[in-house]
Amino acid sequence: MSDDAVRIDIWLWRARFMKTRGLATTYAGKGRIRIGLGNRPRRVEKASTLVRRGDTLTFPLRNRIVCLNIIEVGERRGPAAEARKMYELIVEEDVPDV
């Protein structure tokens, strides 16, 4: 694996969107995450899918939809302040109750 790409489950865990790597692996395998914007975003169906700097992710998280750009893949799961530097939030919207 190159230094500019990392598995999506590892990235979600390092960026502190998931508490454990196991939760991130399960979440990534559910097909709820999209990579890319526009007409043809790719659906992530495997935790082993690689993400890189510049990729855009869109996914539901609790009661919101998160859309972000990956700024760096990170080398470790560090403190929250370090994790926030790994991405740039584009949109974070609440999902209305239905």
Residue 51: burial class (beta carbons within 10 Å; 0-12, 13-18, 19+):
buried
List the domain boundaries for the chain. Answer: 5-94
Residue 1: the pLDDT is: 47
Instruction: Give 75's pLDDT tier (boundaries 50, 70, 90).
Output: very high
| C-alpha–C-alpha distance, residues 35 and 8, integer Å | 10
pTM metric for this prediction: 0.89
97 pLDDT more than 70: no
Render pLDDT for 19-39 as a digit per residue (tens, 0 to 9).
999 999 999 999 999 999 878
Q: Which CATH class is domain 5-94?
A: alpha beta
User: Residue 26's CB: how many other CB atoms inside 10 A?
Assistant: 13
Q: Taking residues 4-32, what's their average pLDDT?
A: 96
46 pLDDT more than 50: yes
